[in-house]
Amino acid sequence: MIVLDKVQKRFGPKILFENVSMQFDPEKRYGLTGANGAGKSTLLKMLAGEEETDQGSISIPGNMRLGVLKQNHFEYEEERILDAVMMGNKSLWEAMFEKEKLLAGEVTDEVGIRLGELEGVIAEEDGYMAESEAAELLVGLGIPQDRHGDRMSTLAGGYKLRVLIAQVLFGKPDVLLLDEPTNHLDLESIGWLENFLLAYRGTLVVISHDRHFLNEVVTHVADVDYQTITVYTGNYQDFVEQKYENKQRDDQKNQSAKKKIEELQGFVQRFGAHASKSSQAQSRLKQIEKLKEEVGTRGQKRSSLVRPFIRFEFEKPSGRDVMRMEGVDKAFDVETRSGAKERKVVYKNAAFNLNRGDRVAVTGPNGVGKSTLLKLLVGAYADVDADTKAEVEKADAGEVRWGHDTSVGYFAQDTHEALGRTGAGMNAFQWLYQWDPNAPQEHIRGILGRLLFQGEAALKDTKSLSGGECARLLLAKLLVLQHNVLVLDEPTNHLDIESIEGLLDGLKLFKGTLVVVSHDRHFISSLATRVLDLRPGEPGKGAELYDYGGTYDEFLDKVGRDYLRK
């Protein structure tokens, strides 16, 4: 059991936690929710012992083993992938390392005794099954067996994260602390992780903005809001229903209290001057003060349930035939394990088309070419803005043709980089205003306000924006430019759940054409009318494109529900 006793924590002048007392119980799986900046990651760091409380204490029994997902993805660059996973069990790894070192030298009687002690540690930690267990974790997370002997430095960023997830799971911890474990995982790997966590019997505390993941995995929600932590029983959907009910209950209490205050004030005004009624008037004044205090206390609470208002509008629709891709080839030079260069074929003779009103979800494993496909589409659009040109790709062969009256807007996966190219020395308002300098400033400020950049927040320097703020500012750009075709690459990364829901609300009402890559199943299940599933093809032939008409759930029914859990 993890116990928080009167915990207080500030971040500069901002109060994150005020006198918080609660506990995380064994064999329960907690989803940690709250708005960006509410203090979720800070809480996880305090639980892990990486950050101190300002006041109060956090108690974790000394015999409990903690597993913490590392945020430094480059910590193990020179280690073998398999070794990096086995380092998750510190006592086992140290025993194995010392054993190898001793066996490399002269084996004296003293060394022999020590080797015996080390063998005991290795046996106790199931060390003789360590490599096979580590390999099983890696394969489940999408890293094939023939890569396990490679160095960590050979992996792309998303795959480094997978190794670190395998590392923390390998340690068989009593408590798992995971901060955004599904970021950069493809749908198959997320499905595998869900299965693993559902079978986990320790205490899990996980931060995630993936609503489907939370609904599948958690048994409780620990909501960071109002400078405290409130625990709700059930999954994320249960929590939302309970929290909105509580908010409505508070609103009703405030309305009743205000009505009562008006009645009491009326009595005081009528009879306060009469001697026979003065004591009753004084009693009612005290009641008024108490009711005002209760209303004020409830009114001061600022909930994290703040949703941006997003509506994508355009003046003129595109033609019916929106885009045609025919015979497209694309390849890149990549560095092999030996350091040599070789040509990697991503697409060979790829083809598909878009019709007006399509909502296409592009799915497939990491590395198959989803982002490249989107960059090829946008790269063929003649009127792409200067900021987007740096992001996109041109086909090596073949053709991508955009149809009549199309206006294409693009959301890049790397939001910080996208802002950095055109936002140097600018605040959020200045960056957004440059995309339509003829618009009234009130119009731009209105869009910023609806995207939660209210008041002074609109004057924040772009280089100091959080990941969620960068994403919302890039979405604001799409609102300003009013495209009738939207091409979105992982738009939900870094957004909190309420912002994801706000984006989802806007896209559901969007009358144009949508192409989106996302690993958020709730998001694509709610939107997609077509699924373009990419699968690795034979060497030298690039990805194979499978076009399924229908929703994402219909796609899963067609290919089998275990498709994502292989």
User: How far apart are the C-alpha atoms of 497 and 307, rounded to whole Å?
Assistant: 9
Mean pLDDT value across the chain = 86
Burial of residue 522, with CB atoms counted within 10 A of its CB: 0-12 exposed, 13-18 middle, 19 or more buried: buried
Question: What number is the average pLDDT over the span 85-106?
Answer: 88
Contact 429, 458 (CB under 8 A): yes
- Within a 13 Å sphere around the CA of 514, how many CA atoms are in the beta-carbon half? 29
Pairing assessment for the beta strands 29-33 and 203-207 based on DSSP bridges: parallel
The per-residue pLDDT for range 7-51, each reduced to its tens digit, is 999 887 888 899 999 999 999 999 998 877 788 889 999 998 889
Note the pLDDT of residue 287.
78
Residue 422 has pLDDT above 70, yes or no: no
Residue 337 has pLDDT above 90, yes or no: no
Least confident stretch, 5-19, 55-69, 256-270, 293-307: 293-307
Indicate the pLDDT class of residue 304, thresholds 50, 70 and 90: low
- pTM for the whole structure: 0.73
Indicate the pLDDT class of residue 180, thresholds 50, 70 and 90: confident
Question: What number is the average pLDDT over the span 85-104?
Answer: 89
Cα 248 from chain centre: 28
Percent of all residues in the chain with a pLDDT value above 70, rounded to a whole number: 93
**CB contact burial 33-62 (16+ within 10 A = b; e otherwise):** bbbbbbbbbbbbbbbbeeeebeebebebee
Indicate the pLDDT class of residue 566, thresholds 50, 70 and 90: very low
Question: Which sign does the torsion angle of CA 520, 522, 527, 529 carry?
Answer: positive
Note the pLDDT of residue 303.
59
Question: What number is the average pLDDT over the span 147-175?
Answer: 87
Indicate the pLDDT class of residue 349, thresholds 50, 70 and 90: very high
Indicate the pLDDT class of residue 562, thresholds 50, 70 and 90: low
Pick the CATH number of 1-64+174-234 from 3.40.50.10420, 3.40.50.261, 3.40.50.300, 3.30.930.10: 3.40.50.300
Note the pLDDT of residue 525.
92
The per-residue pLDDT for range 355-402, each reduced to its tens digit, is 999 999 999 988 889 999 999 999 888 888 777 777 788 999 999 999
User: How far apart are the C-alpha atoms of 377 and 381, rounded to whole Å?
Assistant: 7
* Residue boundaries of the structural domains of the chain: 1-64+174-234, 255-300, 321-565
Note the pLDDT of residue 408.
95
Nearest to 51 by CA among 59, 41, 60: 41
Contact 167, 92 (CB under 8 A): no
At 263, list the tokens: 């009645």
Helix (H, G, I), strand (E, B) or coil at 14: strand
| Residue 226 or 406, more confident | 406
Question: Residues 418-426: contacts with CB within 8 Å, 24+ apart?
Answer: 418/387, 418/391, 418/470, 418/474, 419/462, 419/465, 419/470, 419/473, 419/474, 420/462, 420/463, 421/387, 421/390, 422/386, 422/387, 423/462, 423/463, 424/462, 424/463, 426/461, 426/462
At 169, list the tokens: 């799971």
Helix H, strand E, coil C: the string for 186-198 is CHHHHHHHHHHHH
Task: Supply φ then ψ for residue 556, to 5 degrees.
Answer: -65, -40
Indicate the pLDDT class of residue 86, thresholds 50, 70 and 90: very high
Percent of all residues in the chain with a pLDDT value above 90, rounded to a whole number: 43
Same fold, 1-64+174-234 and 321-565: yes
Note the pLDDT of residue 358.
96
User: How far apart are the C-alpha atoms of 116 and 127, rounded to whole Å?
Assistant: 14
> Between the CA of residue 165 and those of 32, 74, 84, 192, 432, what are the distances in Å?
18, 14, 11, 12, 37
Note the pLDDT of residue 37.
75
Pick the CATH number of 321-565 from 3.40.50.300, 3.90.76.10, 3.20.20.140, 2.40.50.140: 3.40.50.300
Helix (H, G, I), strand (E, B) or coil at 404: coil
DSSP class per residue in 83-126: HHHHTTSHHHHHHHHHHHHHHTS---HHHHHHHHHHHHHHHHTT
Least confident stretch, 47-51, 257-261, 486-490, 549-553: 257-261
Residue 110 has pLDDT above 80, yes or no: yes
Least confident stretch, 42-46, 102-106, 277-281: 277-281
Indicate the pLDDT class of residue 565, thresholds 50, 70 and 90: very low
Question: What number is the average pLDDT over the span 161-185?
Answer: 87
User: How far apart are the C-alpha atoms of 312 and 487, rounded to whole Å?
Assistant: 13
- Within a 13 Å sphere around the CA of 60, how many CA atoms are in the beta-carbon half? 15
